[in-house]
Amino acid sequence: MIMKRIYLFVMMLLCSSALFAQAPSAYSLRVVNQTNCPVFYSVIGDEICVCGRNYQSGIMSLAPGGTATYANTTFFPLPGSYPPIPKGITGALIYSGSPACQNPTTGVVGQPAPACTLPLNYSYLGLGYQCERCSDIRVRWIPANNCQEYAQLIFY
């Protein structure tokens, strides 16, 4: 009987740590463009530590080889629906080109299950500043371990 209780306790401990291994959102975001193309994205999120899409930043771009660090959501450029107080970051919408391109395709990456159900990876054909074909680009979301940490969005 004691062994069953010990086994049950250990299993509950393992299951709970697996559930909390990744946060449902991040407080901060680091974006890295390791490609030779400009990249275009907007950030989605909700309240801190909530998985959702109630907020969206304006479309941002990052030059080839560039890095952008957002200490919290108040650093996102306007327009967008994020309020002027820090909120959670759940993921990113990825655009194949600038808003000036006709119907740029979009994909999404972000916090994975169990908290959210967004994919960690996305691939697409990137377009340059003048909507010309640039390169095949892959995107990887590296989740935050808790709600107060950075998530990372890596273009390569």
User: Apex CA 26: angle with CA 20 and CA 27, to 5°?
Assistant: 130
Does residue 11 sit within a domain?
no
Q: Examine residue 2 and state whether it is found in any structural domain, yes or no.
A: no
Three-state DSSP class for residue 67: strand
Whether 5 is in a domain gets the answer: no
Burial of residue 4 (CB within 10 Å: 0-12, 13-18, 19+) is exposed
Q: Is residue 14 part of a domain?
A: no
Asked if the structure places residue 13 within a domain, the reply is: no
The mean pLDDT of the chain is 89
107 in any annotated domain: yes
Confidence of residue 76 (pLDDT cuts 50, 70, 90): very high
Lowest-confidence pick of 9-13, 15-19, 33-37, 79-83: 15-19
Q: Does residue 12 lie in a domain region?
A: no
Greater model confidence, 90 or 114: 90
Lowest mean pLDDT across 14-18, 53-57, 136-140 = 14-18
pLDDT-based confidence at 2, cuts 50/70/90?
Answer: low
- Domain range for 59 is 23-155
Q: What is the pLDDT of residues 29-72, one digit of tens each?
A: 999 999 999 999 999 999 999 999 999 999 999 999 999 999 99
* Dist. CA 121–CA 102, nearest whole Å: 24
What are the contacts of 138-143 at 24+ separation with CB within 8 A? 139/92, 139/94, 139/107, 139/109, 140/109, 141/91, 141/92, 141/109, 141/110, 141/111, 141/112, 143/22, 143/23, 143/26, 143/111, 143/112
Burial 84-105 (b: 16+ CB within 10 A, else e): eeebbbbbbbbbbbbeebeebe
Model confidence band, residue 142 (pLDDT cutoffs 50, 70, 90): very high
Mean pLDDT value across residues 68-82: 94
Total domain count, the chain = 1
Asked whether residue 104 is domain-assigned, the answer is yes
Q: Which of 3-17, 83-97, 124-138 has the lowest mean pLDDT?
A: 3-17
pLDDT band of residue 128 (cuts 50, 70, 90) is very high
